[in-house]
Structure 1
């Protein structure tokens, strides 16, 4: 069957066999478009300090620059802010709209694509971004929450889904299997024992298994792609080394040609001087005997032929030297163009995935103007906050801000220590 996917920018047509699942079609489409990061989980919590910025960036990305004539009714027709956010602050809806419009206007220099990128950077920095949660128990029967992410498995306390307490990267997990409510995870570290978790139902175990299996496969795929990139880099380095050797050989050959050319020119000049001397002798030797004069004329003819031969050799070597120089210039130009094209491709690809290892991504850096606006908004909202309306999430989020914490710092902290220690921590919760 034919599958056609239309976007704003282009249309993609794919061939798929009947009964192909939506997931398989999605993966096929991502592969054809070169998309490597394919998972999506939605959002569950975001602090009020981010809400206005997101609304501003989303409207900028969708509608472009703010215009009173075309955009005034957008804010009134659409529900932009959750009721939870508006109740927490001593601001009416008009105040919220004014703040959003002011920030929207400040970003008029951004095009839609840049606004979308800034929006995505903000979203990816959220603690709950890309996390699927499951209620589980450990061997002791303690209720905890398991978070399945693209980076691995996180363990959370029931009252805090923003800050995990234990984390297992995918590189530390060898195998997953389940039977009804019982779920077993086998670490890669042979010295670490398997740890068991219990779900609320067999259906949840199945859902959790396939969620983890999918993310594990995607992590492995990223690792494969990463290794391919490393191999390509090695091949490129070997190719560059070979090109360098060939260039050095060409330069050496050119130097030899130039040296031989110089020697030939010196020889030609010497022979010309000798011929000139012989011609002068001939001019001055009118009184010589006929035999002597004939001998001198023969020597002059031989010298003249020698001069012509050397001159042809000089011209030949001169042409060869010029040819080598032109080849070297063309090769240098070709390599420069290849490097330029490679840099363009690398720029378009931006940042390639690091693979499913123990390393962590860095916090996505938004532009300085947006960062300053976010700080200003946080200060303003702090003065209008109704503390009694705060949820548990809001309190945890506010503490994280005060302590300067972000999700990658938290993950780096809780990944310390070996797998054995972290399995024991989980078992003893």
Structure 2
């Protein structure tokens, strides 16, 4: 039986017997990807209207999938509460990054324009590393999708201006390696209201159409027109049990004074999906509040060791890079100095040539003077006074000639010294070039060794089983909400400039409902976690009543 599993990294074609369990297929794909944090992932296929249908691993075999076995997807199913603290290994971080990036670009997760630009700049840092104007020309930004399509119509900014804003932020990420840039990207996405929320159409007892959002933090109830701001929220710490009977889905609170609250899904099958997703999220919620198992501790130690070694390599790389850049700068300066000396030498040679012409003219004058002597001897008596003056003139010209010859000898010595200095500089530049080439060779060797070490680590990874039963929360468990991830200080000024441009170019008639809701949230100083904190105030009884009266 043919099996095709697609991931954000690649597509796998397998052949398996019909009785092969889904768990075996999942394990095989996880191992091929090198993923050990398997509890975040699942296998799914798309049903009618692009509905995501997650396959239950414990009870399903390939034969149960029928014609869906060639349309399976290995995707993130459960999201952590705090990405920066919980994701352990690089491959898991990369998988989350690639999947979440697709959700941002396709508008599956709503993201405001300024954050979209910042995320695009981190994505470029992930793909290309530090920005370099010599290497990264405009074509790099133009030939790939970096922003959701809606932004092109919502703002009257051209592609060049969008790309310039992305580039300006990309410059600020200098020094971040691939994993650090991916984590910064994910931390920002974690602030978005729709991140990690799976929505289901439901009704309450009054028949009001609502949305149920299943998240890592609990169950949220939304009005159908607003997917950003939940109206009621029940954290997992307040939920004791989940069960359903056909469309009727029952949630039992831990508060004994609160009655069970009931929602109605669109079908029994949908109720089953809600239960499966709810049980999995609740299990991970409880697990995060217990001490790490020995396997997780070992995994974290390995990841920390790899990260430590990578940071050492990174530090060494940047030190070598700095030294190399300084050496290259010195080489440029040496070349300028050599060029300057060559120009000076050319000027000296020109002056020497002119001096030689002067000497030649003097020699010709001396010859003429010798001829004149014979004539002057014949007229000695008549022109004695003139001969004395001529003799004085002759002596004066000889002194000038001697002085000029001294100057020429001095100039020869000066030119010789310059030539020796040029040769010394040339030798020093060649030696420096050899040092640069040796540094490049060492850098390539270190990178190859690091890649080989990572590959060996990935090959040794073993799969871990998901735990899906409901558990009781430890008595001293911390149930506080995560903190909003703040933008790096050096990017805040850049964001302010971008926000001003966006306000100037906003085409309000093109705004969506989510854009307007987000703008109102900003004006009111609300964010994802403030909203959750506000609607979780009061006891469970009161919130159940609020839900039933919606």
Q: TM-score with structure 1 length normalisation? A: 0.62
Contact 2:30 2:36 in 1 (8 A): no
Alignment match, 1:265: none
The answer to whether structure 1 residue 137 and structure 2 residue 203 are counterparts is yes
Alignment match, 1:261: none
Alignment match, 1:365: 486
Structure 1 position 370, deviation (Å) = 2.2
Alignment match, 1:387: 508
Alignment match, 2:527: 406
Give the alignment of 1:170-319 within 5 angstroms.
170-225=236-291
Sort the Cα spacing of 1:29 and 1:156 in 2 relative to 1 into closer, same or farther, 3 A.
farther
Structure 1 position 376, deviation (Å) = 2.6
Task: Give ranges in structure 2 of 5+ residues lacking alignment.
Answer: 1-8, 10-19, 42-77, 80-98, 104-108, 295-473
Whole-angstrom CA distance in 2 between matches of 1:356 and 1:154:
21
Q: Secondary structure at the match of 2:479?
A: coil
Please say which of residues 394-403 and 144-153 is displaced more in the overlay.
394-403
Contact 1:184 1:197 in 2 (8 A): yes
Q: Secondary structure at the match of 1:101?
A: helix
Contact 2:30 2:38 in 1 (8 A): no
Contact 1:66 1:104 in 2 (8 A): yes
The answer to whether structure 1 residue 118 and structure 2 residue 239 are counterparts is no
Give the alignment partner of residue 61 of structure 1, picking from 107, 126, 129: 126
Alignment match, 1:247: none
Task: Give ranges in structure 1 of 5+ residues lacking alignment.
Answer: 1-7, 9-17, 229-353
Give the alignment partner of residue 136 of structure 2, picking from 59, 64, 71: 71
The answer to whether structure 1 residue 105 and structure 2 residue 166 are counterparts is no
Alignment match, 1:260: none
Larger Rg: 2
Structure 1 position 120, deviation (Å) = 1.5
Q: Secondary structure at the match of 2:219?
A: strand
Contact 2:248 2:263 in 1 (8 A): yes
Paired residues, number: 291
Contact 1:118 1:367 in 2 (8 A): no
Q: TM-score with structure 2 length normalisation? A: 0.49
Whole-angstrom CA distance in 1 between matches of 2:194 and 2:214:
11
Give a deviation string over 1:120-159, Cα, whole Å, max 9, x none.
Answer: 2211111111110111000000011111000100111111
Structure 1 position 45, deviation (Å) = 0.8
Give a deviation string over 1:289-316, Cα, whole Å, max 9, x none.
Answer: xxxxxxxxxxxxxxxxxxxxxxxxxxxx
Instruction: Supply the RMSD in Å over aligned alpha carbons.
Output: 3.1
Sort the Cα spacing of 1:217 and 1:387 in 2 relative to 1 into closer, same or farther, 3 A.
same
Give a deviation string over 1:204-257, Cα, whole Å, max 9, x none.
Answer: 1111111111111111222233799xxxxxxxxxxxxxxxxxxxxxxxxxxxxx
Whole-angstrom CA distance in 2 between matches of 1:172 and 1:30:
36
Structure 1 position 22, deviation (Å) = 5.2
